[in-house]
Amino acid sequence: MRHGKYPFILSFLALPVGLYAWLVIVPFAQAFQISLTDWSGSSNQFDYIGLDNYVNLFKDDRLVLPALRNTGIILVVLPVVTIGLSLFFAFMLNIGGRSRQGRIEGVRGSRFHKVVFFFPQVLSLAIIGILWKQVYAPENFGGLITGGLEALGLPSPVNGFLADKRLVLVSVIGVLVWSAVGLYLVFFSSAMAAIPRELYEAGIVDGAGRFQTFFKITLPLLWESVQTAWIYLSIIALDVFVLVYMMTPGQGGPDGASEVVGGVIWKYAFKHGEQAFASALGVVLFFAALTLAVVSLRAGRRERIEY
């Protein structure tokens, strides 16, 4: 190695690493520090109180425990439903069509469908929230779904979907899925495009139907993409807050039925004036996300198929 190489490299590294440390690592470290205090957030005085905040976290059955439960539900349901739907759609749009003259292609109008499915991705979450709030509104206030159900003579929640404790969380998850499917559809589509057509042709010659083609060929070859999507969606699930904030009554209601961890952190930090408690919950969320990423990467590890 030639003289002066390290100082040269270091001089390039210093700035990005420094910025990263200052803007990411230090605030993270500080959240740990703050979580051990009784800091309110609007003062420059605080005392260290040890792990009290962490102990109290798991005693809070009004906000924290419902939030952990709801976030857990979203964490399971959102990736499963989103990946399932977008894999299905991607398969149908790319491979699932009737084979015409031996060529493998998607269902009729697949290009048009792709654009339509991708549409929600173009809208900002705030707009989606306002849009769906109206869609879910009570029937006599112009709710689209309630109005539709009523017109068909089916039962619908009289106060709209978001004011019903049993339906609010499902409604929020529905919007999340609706807005995410398009992106993963495109994501899986491009991954599917990389699968050699000969494999399908061979399969069809051997008499495989769509069902078998999907489970025996497509899915195994897409495994890495699915895994990536899973991690992204899990992180979205842990982060979900904007929709709950925009759509639900009392930003997590009615009566705590749609509280999520992100929302509870916000409530404690800015509405209750308990920054330290909020930081403790943030630290818990941080470790949950970290564990999740590590576990899903490890557990999902399979042999890579070369083609």
Partner 1 sequence: MRKPSTTPHFSRRRLLGTTAAGVAATSLAACATSGSDEDIEDVSVGDDAENPFGVDGSLPLDVVIFDGGFGDEYAVQHQEMYQSAFPDAKVEHLATQAIAETQQPRFAQGEPCDVLDNSGAQQIPMDALVTDGELAELTPLLDAPSYDDPNVTVRETLRDGVLEAGTFNGKVYALNYVFSAWTIWYDAALFADKGWTPPTTWDEMLALCPDIQAEGIAPWTYAGQHPVYLYDMFLMLAGRHGGVDVLKAIDHLEADAWRHDSVVAAAEAMYGLWEAGYILEGTPGIDHIQSQTAFNNHEAAFIPVGSWLPNEQKGIAPEGFEYAPMGVPYLEGSVQPGLISAGGEEPFVVPQKAANKPGAYEYLRIMLSKQGSQIFGDTVQAATIVKGVELENLAAQLTDELVSNPEDLFQPRFRFWYTKMDEEVRPALGGLMAGEIDPDQFIERMQTVADETAADDGVEKFTHGA
Phi, psi of 301 (to 5 degrees): -70, 125
Rule CB under 8 A: choose which of 64, 135, 163, 260 binds partner 1: 163
DSSP character at residue 165: T
Does residue 25 bind partner 1 (CB under 8 A)?
A: yes
Does residue 43 bind partner 1 (CB under 8 A)?
A: yes
From the DSSP assignment, how many helices (H) and strands (E) are in the chain?
15, 0
Task: Tell me how far the alpha carbon of residue 141 is from its chain's centroid.
Answer: 30
Q: Are 272 and 24 contacting, i.e. CB atoms less than 8 angstroms apart?
A: no
Rule CB under 8 A: choose which of 69, 197, 271, 302 binds partner 1: 271
Rule CB under 8 A: choose which of 18, 109, 148, 220 binds partner 1: 18
DSSP characters over 97-153: SPPBTTB---STTHHHHHHHHHHHHHS-HHHHHHHHHHHTS-GGGT-HHHHHHHHTT
CB of 143 to partner 1, least distance (A): 8
Q: Mark 245-264 with x for binding to partner 1 (rule: CB under 8 A) and - for no binding.
A: ----xx--xxxx--------
Rule CB under 8 A: choose which of 69, 165, 197, 301 binds partner 1: 165
- The Cα–Cα gap between 239 and 194 comes to 32
Does residue 272 bind partner 1 (CB under 8 A)?
A: yes
Does residue 196 bind partner 1 (CB under 8 A)?
A: no
CB of 5 to partner 1, least distance (A): 20
Rule CB under 8 A: choose which of 139, 171, 180, 258 binds partner 1: 139
Q: What part of residues 55-94 is at the interface with partner 1 (CB under 8 A)?
A: 62-63
- The Cα–Cα gap between 50 and 78 comes to 36
CB of 230 to partner 1, least distance (A): 23
Rule CB under 8 A: choose which of 82, 86, 258, 279 binds partner 1: 279
Long-range contacts of 135-142 (CB under 8 A, 24+ apart): 136/160, 136/161, 136/162, 136/171, 136/247, 137/162, 138/163
Rule CB under 8 A: choose which of 1, 23, 122, 299 binds partner 1: 23
Rule CB under 8 A: choose which of 36, 145, 162, 169 binds partner 1: 162
Rule CB under 8 A: choose which of 9, 29, 293, 295 binds partner 1: 29
Does residue 147 bind partner 1 (CB under 8 A)?
A: no
Rule CB under 8 A: choose which of 22, 58, 119, 215 binds partner 1: 22
* Residue 6, amino acid: Y
In whole angstroms, how far apart are CA 94 and each of 152, 186, 289?
Answer: 34, 10, 33
Does residue 124 bind partner 1 (CB under 8 A)?
A: no
Which residue bears the tokens 């420094």? 18
**Beta carbons within 8 Å of 42's beta carbon, 6+ residues apart:** 273
Q: Which of 304, 293, 287, 297 is nearest to 35 (CA)?
A: 287
Q: Considering only 41-49, 115-123, 195-203, 220-228, which stretch makes contact with partner 1 by CB under 8 A? A: 41-49
Residues that bind partner 1 (CB under 8 A): 14-15, 17-19, 21-23, 25-31, 33-34, 37, 39-46, 62-63, 137-141, 157-160, 162-165, 249-250, 253-256, 265, 267, 270-274, 278-279, 282-283, 285-286
